[in-house]
Amino acid sequence: MREHDMLEKEEIFSKVLRAGRRTYFFDVRATKADDYYITITESKKFTEEDGSFHFKKHKIYLYKEDFAAFAEILGDMTSYVLNHKGEEVISERHQKDFKKEYTSEKSDDEILPQTSNFTDIDFDDI
45 has a pLDDT exceeding 90: no
Distance CA 60, CA 63 (A): 10
What is the β-pairing status of strands 13-19 and 22-30? antiparallel
Structural domain containing residue 19 = 3-64
Distance CA 22, CA 46 (A): 10
- Look at residue 69 and tell me if it is in a domain: no
- Look at residue 94 and tell me if it is in a domain: no
> Number of structural domains, the chain?
1
pLDDT band for position 17 (50/70/90)? Answer: very high
Tell me, what's the pLDDT at 110? 46
- Look at residue 87 and tell me if it is in a domain: no
pLDDT band for position 101 (50/70/90)? Answer: low
For residues 1-10, give the mean pLDDT.
52
CATH for 18: 3.10.450.700
The CA–CA distances, whole Å, from 49 to 44, 52, 56 equal 16, 7, 17
Could you tell me how far CA 80 lies from the centroid of its own chain?
A: 16
Average pLDDT, the chain: 78
Percent helix, percent strand, percent coil in the chain, to nearest 5? 35, 30, 35
Q: Can you give the length of the chain in residues?
A: 126
Check: CB of residue 21 under 8 Å from CB of residue 45: yes
Q: What percent of the chain has pLDDT over 90?
A: 45
Which distant-in-sequence residues (6+ apart) come within 8 Å of 3 by Cβ? Answer: none
